[in-house]
Amino acid sequence: DREFNLSFKYANNAIKTSKYNIFTFLPLNLFEQFQRLANAYFVFLLILQLIPAISSLSWFTTVVPLLLVLCMTLAKDGSDDINRHKNDRQVNNRRVDVLIDGKLKSEKWMNVQVGDIIKLENNQFVTPKDVCYFGETEKWEVHCEAPNNRLDKFTGTLSVQGAAYALDNERIILRGCTLRNTEWCFGLVLFGGPDTKLMQNSGKSTFKRTSIDHLMNVLVLFIFGLLALMCTALAIGNSIWEHQEGTSFTAFLPRQEGANADFSSFLSFWSYVIILNTVVPISLYVSVEILRLGNSYYIDWDRKMYHTKSDIPAQARTTTLNEELGQIKYIFSDKTGTLTQNIMVFNRCSINGKSYGESLQYLGLCEKVDFSWNPLADPKFCFHDHSLIEAVKQGSREVKAFFRLLALCHTVMPEEKREGELFYQAQSPDEGALVTAARNFGFVFRGRTPDTISVVEMGISTAYQLLAVLDFNNVRKRMSVIVRSPDGRLTLYCKGADTIIYERLHPSCSKLMEVTTDHLNEYAGEGLRTLALAYKDLDEAEFEVWKVRHHEASTTMEDREAKLDAIYEDIEKDLMLIGATAVEDKLQDGVPQTIEQLSKADIKIWVLTGDKQETAENIGYSCNMLQEEMTEVFVVAADTAEGVRQELVNARKMMSPGSPDEPPVLKSGIIGKKSEEVLDEKVEGEYGLVINGHSLAYGLQEDQQLELLRTACMCQTVICCRVTPLQKAQVVELIKKHKKAVTLAIGDGANDVSMIKAAHIGVGISGQEGMQAALSSDFSFAQFRYLQRLLLVHGRWSYLRMCSFLRYFFYKNFTFTFVHLWYAFFCGFSAQTVYDEWFITLYNLVYTALPVIGLGLFDQDVDDRWSFRYPQLYAPGQQNLYFNKMAFVRILLHSSYSSIILFFIPYAAIQDTVRDDGKDIADYQSFALLAQTCLLIAVNVQLGLDTSYWTAVNQFFLWGSLSVYFAVTFTMYSNGMFLIFTSSFPFIGTARNSLNQPNVWLTIFLTTILCVLPVVAFRFLLIQLRPTMNDKVRYKMRQDKAVLPPLPRRFPRRRISTRRSGYAFSHARGYGDLVTSGRFLRRNVKSRPTLFPLAESPVAESSPQIYRSIDGTQSSKQA
Amino acid sequence: MKAGPSRTNRPDNTAFTQQRLPAWQPILSAGIVIPGFTLIGLAFIGVGVALFVTSQKITDLEIDYTGVAATSPCFKCTSFAAENCMCQMEFTLTTLFEGPVFFYYGLTSYYQNFRTYGVSKDGYQLSGDTYYFNNPQDSCAPYQYDSNNNPIVPCGSIANSMFSDTFQLYQVVNGMKKQVPLDGKGIAWWTDYNIKYSNPALVNGSFANAFSGTVKPVNWSKPVYELDPTDQANNGFLNQNFLVWMRQAALPKFQKLYGRIAEGDYAQGLPAGNYTLLINYSYPVISFGGTKKVVLSNVSWMGGKNQFLGIAYLVIGSLCIVMAMVMLIIYAKYKFTDDDEDM
């Protein structure tokens, strides 16, 4: 049917990200390059220069830099595109088995068509498809929804020989998923390439530009304006000069035919456009690219961001955003896999009023418990309290009951690939952790059938008869099993949220309850997820009655759930408390410290997670984002738009009673688009905000956005839970739109992609399954904690370097250009250059290129350790202090001053003077040489002043450039060059004749000193009178001779909290049905472990949706 | 930990990649800045004094002979009718004018640095390339060809506008005029004379023949091969007055070397006495508001007379000292204490 399906022209599965091929590369790339304003401008200049009447500079002054820029861009674009070709080829050429004409054929991914039936194998990455999977049939037809971006919904019908089967979300595998727990499955391709849900969800991929880029664009426009202004002024000057002096000077300097003063001033306008073009330096963009590339390499190279365990170094995937890393104001973080490892660890427990697992780690006395006596123990499990194992060995009844409960009351599936090598497939990692704990303490859950559970209890195999599973759901917040032990006793084991269990306890437990409550509080205070455990011995007769009722309820057609719940309620009462467990949702290493550092740097962190509110809150507490000391943590969970608004307004009024109804807005919009910026409002105290997905949907509506934004921004911490990937992006967009702040999104899964793409900077945690996040991110690394190094060290340095670079770059070019301006007054506004043409050509490209790049690559104000010690140093970046419009104006003024010095000092010094042998030195060529040498030395000394970190490379670049200048100058002014290229090097002999004069050197020295000393004095006084944080730290650093003051020692904070049972709240409905239905066990004839296909997609995280694929596969097999 | 095959992605541990390159990290501390300013100030004052004193020792004498004022001896030459006008300026030296004395002529409001003026020459022609004698470059326009379409050599505005006044200096000794020899050789740059400019090869043993088919610049009274018929080494493009003129001035007010007084009786300088300067006045400057002058000057190790550098050094040096004191006061009063309160 391939031809038939092809006729519909469904989206092709081939991926193409490359831009050029061999033939189109050169023309297309050049075409693109000339579309850039800067390049087009230089072509325009070149054309101007070819008009003899205007040409104030030779053609080569423009052609040489332009060619260099074009070639460098060409090389870079070329190598980028080669990489893209490679990647495309790799993805497109992956092999997959496709069913064609009844046979499986290996096909390339790019040739797979919608409507093909393909075979997916275990652990294979579902790269380019959304696949609906089911068995093979003869004739079929699928009707389904149009491509869309909803990950949690799918509707469609499959018609096979007249019979219709519903296709819903449980029957499709999305692109980006990995097939798990089954060797293979067949599937029908529903969507290809760009139609897949993942691609639909990934949001627009826009080319990101940094705020400095935007500023630079504005500045370049401004510079063009300045250029036009200067040229106009000079043209007017020329007109006046021509009227007053030029007309009478024609005896020596005749005008061209028909040229009058006005025409001459028109020509002079264009001539000055050519001369002063250096205010818009062509090499600026190239140098900026080089810097960013270099600073990106530092990120790639950083060993402190390399994760040894997973062998993953940090990677700067986008090399054009570095300095933005130093300006982050908001961080949007995913939770699972980003803040947490998604690993649960059984950490503490309370059994019969005794607490085990006292966290000795803090005291450094952590000797692991030895589980070698238990051959079935999980070697990865570790526990630090020896008293618990002693208790088990001594055979304490309660302890045994505790672990027996853990081994029995769950819906975990065991998998025993080899004898003694057990693997558990748990619906949630919490369950897995609990069962694993029981396993290590000698109560090994080994296998199950629909009605038995086999457990190895302290080495003795025991089989329990499983009579009922009272499964977990959101309302019940508990689960129970009823089992018959080998000795015939009937027991109900129950675990669940403490509040729920406590309501159902037998009054005799009240004393134990009190003690356990204390323990629970303690555990919750440590951010652990707790569960209470209880049991009840059942009376045989009572159970029989209940069983009948249960059977009745479970077979009713209406209201089955509710009826079952009621039945469960009946039997889960008068429970006997055993104890409680505490499971740690393991944070990634260093997460609380990182968050603390980042908040010290005044970065606001928002957690956007698909998890439930309670889980998210819990993590908020355990990584110090929410704190008990906070004045209030608001929870917004209303179900109506009005309700959400009310809650937001209430929260805001509470934080700031006087806050006005209208948000304080800063309107700006001088050039181009108007922008409104919502200002931060001052708040007393610290607040937190927790908002769930439903409310967020209302909050993100057009009319409520600002309310949400204001309230959220007043809080120290914002946690959004149950949010969809698209909402994550919307939240980011909201901040981007209304706050003039730089945002960063960090996440690990496919559901974070849209947010990562929306934020100014997207960071992906790599090394997890599914590389989508990392692939669409700008920066990726293996651990959340590297974020602080990325921002506080790399980001800060990049920003600092970029700003120093830009400030200096503009300074040197303005100074260079403005000298012409002053000379105009002494050369009849004739567009005579002050410098040699070769100097003009090489100034930006050779003489000053490397030192400033050295500044942009190596400079650091304080080293990384001090950056960590004082995160406050990050603030200037957020406030845009180092390079902004004011700074630009300061540069203009500084340049004007320098250029005045650089012109008038040589002017006055050379006026009417002669060499020490009476010969000429006040000639044009000597003056040009003097002026350019003064300029070069003065700007280099200024660079030295701007450099705070002098490496050997900086020294080499600086002295090298100066030496190159003199070497090139002497070479170009040499006899040989003149004899070979007579007309190109008319400056012959100038260097020899003037640079041997003491007054020339005295002049150079005087200009340099005059340019630099006022700056030194100004900066020195500024440091004394208004020291910045930076100055203080540098001063301190010098004082202490690099001995870092120790961080104030932090003790793990304990919370006195009533919040607990996070796990019970976050836990989703389990496999209860499956376990008892036994359908999944049907094929399981041998002791082969049960494998049920579980599409463990990263997208599943946002909507805890269980892919009970087993039904799908099997029912369709039957069909 | 060993870098085994499993650590293939671990970045190299070099000072460069880890950004730990050893570096000098200077800061603008009081210990450097204040003494620095003081030292620079003292040094500048020292240099300034030396420069000032040196400059003071240089004698110079300026004689404006434009003839704007009706009382000026050269006034008669300023009318258009005057041709081959000679005028005479008198001056007196009360003390010995120490030698070697250099004789300059100076012009003001003269824009040799005008762009279109500056490019109006043909470098190939001036280096003796005879192809360009017949085909001068376009840059020479409008002094490329004359009205009869004959090529001009040397072409262009610069050559055409060559300064044409000539001078003779006499010492009046006992009422008798004794000529002071003005050496017009050795006044141009060595590189100009030896490398940049060359005469064409002789044609049929005659220098003039090399220029056949070309005409002299419009304003010139004689062709270039007759600039100094007495000395072939100072003739043609290698005429040193021509070379001096061709080296454009940087500023509209300039002076150019005309001759050196270093021979015979005047090797030690010009003795005190009365002098007469005889000027062959032909170069018009009044039309564009310019002035002409003659400057007699001697030189020192730092070149000609220029007060500016010395004064500038003195002023800047003093300012540095003042600034150092100001900074010291401010430092003592306001220096930030490195307390930790806001860190």
Mean pLDDT in residue range A106-131: 67
Residue that has been written with the tokens 């909402």 in this structure: A727
CA distance B3 to B11: 10
Q: What is the DSSP string of A94-126?
A: -EEEEEETTEEEEEEGGG--TT-EEEEETT-B-
User: Mean pLDDT, to the nearest integer, of A337-342?
Assistant: 82
Lowest mean pLDDT among A95-109, A290-304, A752-766: A95-109
Is A999's CB within 8 Å of B303's CB?
Answer: yes
Contact A1038 B29 (CB under 8 A): yes
B3 burial (CB, 10 Å; 0-12 / 13-18 / 19+) is exposed
Minimum mean pLDDT range among A558-567, A827-836, B194-203, B312-321: A558-567
* C-alpha–C-alpha distance, residues B57 and A267, integer Å: 47
What does A340-369 look like in DSSP terms, one character per residue? EEEEEEEEEEEETTEEE---GGGGT--PPP
Taking CA atoms, A193 is separated from A98, A480, A1095, B80, in Å, by 16, 46, 20, 91
Instruction: For the beta carbon of residue A586, count every other beta carbon within 10 angstroms.
Output: 17
Residue B205 or residue A115, greater confidence:
B205
- Structure confidence at residue A124 as a pLDDT band (50, 70, 90): low
The residues in A 916-975 lying below 8 A from B, measured between CB atoms, are 916-928, 948-954, 975
Two tokens at A739? 């706050």
Q: Name the helix (H) or strand (E) containing A515.
A: helix A510-525
Query: Where does the pLDDT of residue A206 fall: very low under 50, low under 70, confident under 90, or very high at 90 and above?
Result: low
- A298 in reach of chain B (CB within 8 A): yes
Question: Chain B residue with minimal CA distance to A1001?
Answer: B302
> What is the rounded average pLDDT for all residues in chain B?
88
Predicted confidence band of residue A1099 (pLDDT cuts 50, 70, 90)? very low
Distance in angstroms (rounded) separating the CA atoms of residues B117 and A252: 8
Asked if the bond preceding B73 is cis, omega within 30° of 0, the reply is: no
Q: For residue range A48-68, what is the model confidence (pLDDT) as tens digits?
A: 888 888 888 888 888 888 888
Alpha carbons A818 and A226: distance in angstroms, whole number: 11
Q: CB B288 to CB A245 under 8 A?
A: yes
Tens of pLDDT along A818-859? 999 999 999 889 889 999 999 998 998 899 989 999 999 999
Q: Hey, is A17 helix, strand or coil?
A: coil
A452-457 β-sheet, strand order: A354-356, A340-351, A576-587, A529-538, A490-496, A478-484, A460-470, A452-457, A443-449
Subunit contact B343:A1032, Cβ cutoff 8 A = yes
Contact check, Cβ <8 Å, A308/B7: yes
- Backbone Cα Rg of chain B: 30
Chain A residues lying within 8 Å of B8, measured CB to CB: 311
Q: Tally the residues of chain B.
A: 343
Q: Per-residue confidence at B342, pLDDT binned at 50, 70, 90?
A: very low
Amino acid at A608: L
SS3 readout for A1047-1109 = CCCCCCCCCCCCCCCHHHHHCCCCCHHHHHHCHHHCCCCCCCCCCCCCCCCHHHHCCCCCCCH
- Return the residue of A nearest to B120 by Cα: A253
- Please report, for residues A869, A980, B1, B10, the alpha-carbon distance to residue B4 in angstroms, rounded to integers and kept in the order given: 33, 59, 9, 10
CA distance A46 to A54: 11
Identify the closest residue of chain B to A1026 by CA–CA distance: B336
Distance of CA A979 to the CA centre of its chain: 60
Q: Do A908 and B7 touch (CB under 8 A)?
A: no
**Is residue B147 within 8 angstroms of chain A, CB to CB?**
no
Amino acid at site A582: A
Find the helix or strand (DSSP H, E) in which B274 lies: strand B273-281
CB contact under 8 Å between B312 and A1036, yes or no, is no
| A983 close contact with B: CB closer than 8 A | yes
State whether residue A795 sits within 8 Å of chain B by CB. Answer: no
As a whole number, mean pLDDT of residues A631-648 equals 85
The contacts of residue A55 (CB under 8 Å, 6+ apart) are: A48, A49, A271, A274
Q: Which residues pair with A121 in a beta bridge?
A: A184
Phi and psi at residue A990, in whole multiples of 5°? -65, -45
Higher per-residue pLDDT: B29 or A664: B29
Asked if residue A155 lies in contact with residue A167, where contact means CB atoms within 8 angstroms, the answer is yes
Percentage of chain B with pLDDT > 90? Answer: 38
The verdict on a CB contact (< 8 Å) between A950 and B23 is yes
Binding residues of A for Mg(2+): 334, 336, 748, 752
Task: Please report the pLDDT score of residue B7 as a whole number.
Answer: 62
DSSP A608-657: E-SS-HHHHHHHHHHTTSS-TTSSEEEEE--SSHHHHHHHHHHHHHHH-T
Nearest residue in B to A989, CA atom = B191
User: Structure pTM?
Assistant: 0.85
Q: Residues A578-583: what's their mean pLDDT?
A: 88
Residues of chain B with C-beta less than 8 angstroms from the C-beta of A923: 247-250
Contact A927 B191 (CB under 8 A): no
Interface test with A, best of B17, B27, B237 (most A CBs within 10 A): B27
Chain A CA closest to residue B6: A311
Of B8, B44, B111, the CB nearest to A311: B8
pLDDT tops 90 at residue A586 = no
Q: Is A792 on the interface with B (CB under 8 A)?
A: no
Judged by a CB distance cut-off of 8 A, whether residue B190 touches chain A is yes
Phi/psi of residue A660, nearest 5 degrees: -70, 160
What is the Cα–Cα distance from A557 to B249, expressed in whole angstroms? 109
**Any idea what the Cα angle at residue B48 is, between residues B42 and B51, rounded to 5°?**
145
Q: How far apart are CA A283 and CA A802, in angstroms?
A: 15
pLDDT band, very low/low/confident/very high, at A308 (cuts 50, 70, 90): confident
Residue stretches of the annotated binding site of A for ATP = 334-336, 431, 472, 495, 529, 609-611, 722, 728, 751-752
Residue A135 has pLDDT above 70, yes or no: no
Computed over every residue of chain A, the mean pLDDT equals: 81
pLDDT band per the 50, 70, 90 thresholds, residue A1015: very high
- Count of residues making up chain A: 1119
Chain B: give the shortest CA distance to residue A13, in Å: 32
Residue A624 · residue A1053 · CB < 8 Å = yes
Most confident of A148-152, A172-176, B154-158: B154-158
Q: Do A249 and B161 touch (CB under 8 A)?
A: no
Measure the CA–CA gap between A842 and A827, rounded to whole angstroms.
Answer: 24
Look at residue B167 and tell me whether its pLDDT is greater than 50. yes
Question: From the candidates B9, B127, B194, B316, which should be mutated to test the interface with A, based on the most A CB atoms within 10 A?
Answer: B9
Any chain B CB within 8 A of the CB of A1023?
yes
Question: Is residue A704 over pLDDT 90?
Answer: no
In single-letter form, the type of residue at position A889 comes to V
CB contact B159 to A (< 8 Å): no
The residues of A assigned a catalytic role are: 334
Rounded to a whole number of angstroms, the distance from the CA of B206 to the nearest CA of chain A is: 25
